[in-house]
Amino acid sequence: MRVDIVTIFPEFFGVLDVSLLGRARRDGLLELGVHDLRQWTHDRHRTVDDTPYGGGAGMVMKPEPWGEALDALLGDETDALVILPTPAGVPFTQALARELAAESHLLFACGRYEGIDARVAEHAATRARVLEVSLGDYVLNGGEVAAMAMIEAIGRLVPGVVGNPESLVEESHEDGLLEHPSYTKPQVWRGLEVPEVLRSGNHAAVAAWRREQALERTRRVRPDLLPDDR
């Protein structure tokens, strides 16, 4: 998979060199390009924003540098998906992460300030698919942190990135429930004991216990995830 990121803060993405995604890059599973939007400005101050038409507080990102960035990075390619992180987008979920992990080329356009001039998305949609995506119902200072979270969630679902694909199946949200609690050695720690059933060797009993724990946790913390009959 190829992932391009356009941002005025390319240094944000240095952390993608480390850990699982860093290894995926070195292994050639993930090809990552981080691009400074200001390289597509032409004035002395490398200006990327201006005041909003219609008035109001804050600044809006100018369309021209974004237009040139997309020209340069998309060329005449037709199968790229342009992702605009914005609190006004569709919610980012594990299901969406799975869909996006099957794409061949993602381009994250990270806006700052009050967002990007709306014509950028409109024009991009004439040459590529465009998706506005929100990390959650809160406001960040820009799209960078949201893009980073999405790239991590998507990247680990790309085949080969996580060594044991079975570990992905048992996680929170994969079956619509929150994950059951997990334990490791020692058996007793500070007076707290690992639940007996996990030491029983009875795989069916372990599976049933984990499912009950997942259901209980979901009912308690995220009842909105459960259909009414569960």
In the numeric block, the tokens 């004991």 are attached to 193
Count of residues binding ligand ADE (CB under 6 A)? 12
19-26 and 143-155 helices, crossing angle to 10° = 70
Residue 218 interacts with ligand ADE (CB under 6 A): yes or no = no
In the numeric block, the tokens 């290894």 are attached to 23
Instruction: Please pick, from the candidates 21, 32, 80, 143, the single residue that binds ligand ADE as defined by CB under 6 A.
Output: 143
Annotation: binding site? 111, 135-140
Residue 60 interacts with ligand ADE (CB under 6 A): yes or no = no
- Per CB under 6 A, which region of 41-49, 69-77, 140-148, 159-167 contacts ligand ADE? 140-148
Residue 7 interacts with ligand ADE (CB under 6 A): yes or no = no
Residue 155 interacts with ligand ADE (CB under 6 A): yes or no = no
- Per CB under 6 A, which region of 40-48, 133-141, 171-179, 202-210 contacts ligand ADE? 133-141
Annotation: binding site for S-adenosyl-L-methionine? 111, 135-140
**Residue 176 Cβ, how far from ligand ADE at the closest point, in Å?**
23
Pure H helices in the chain: 19-26, 63-74, 94-100, 119-124, 143-155, 166-169, 203-221
**69: closest CA among 79, 84, 90, 87?**
84
Sign of the dihedral defined by the CA atoms of residues 42, 48, 54, 57, in that order: negative
d(CA 138, CA 160): 33
Q: Residue 69 in contact with residue 82, Cβ under 8 Å? A: no
Q: Residue 135 or 177: which CB sits closer to ligand ADE?
A: 135
d(CA 162, CA 29): 11
Instruction: Please pick, from the candidates 7, 30, 85, 153, the single residue that binds ligand ADE as defined by CB under 6 A.
Output: 85
d(CA 12, CA 4): 14
Residue 215 interacts with ligand ADE (CB under 6 A): yes or no = no
**Residue 86 Cβ, how far from ligand ADE at the closest point, in Å?**
5
d(CA 5, CA 11): 11
Residue 159 interacts with ligand ADE (CB under 6 A): yes or no = no
In the numeric block, the tokens 């391009």 are attached to 4
Q: Residue 7 or 134: which CB sits closer to ligand ADE?
A: 134
Cis peptide before 186 (omega within 30 of 0): yes
Q: Residue 91 or 223: which CB sits closer to ligand ADE?
A: 91
Instruction: Please pick, from the candidates 18, 57, 139, 169, the single residue that binds ligand ADE as defined by CB under 6 A.
Output: 139
Footprint of ligand ADE on this chain (CB under 6 A)? 85-87, 134-136, 138-140, 142-143, 146
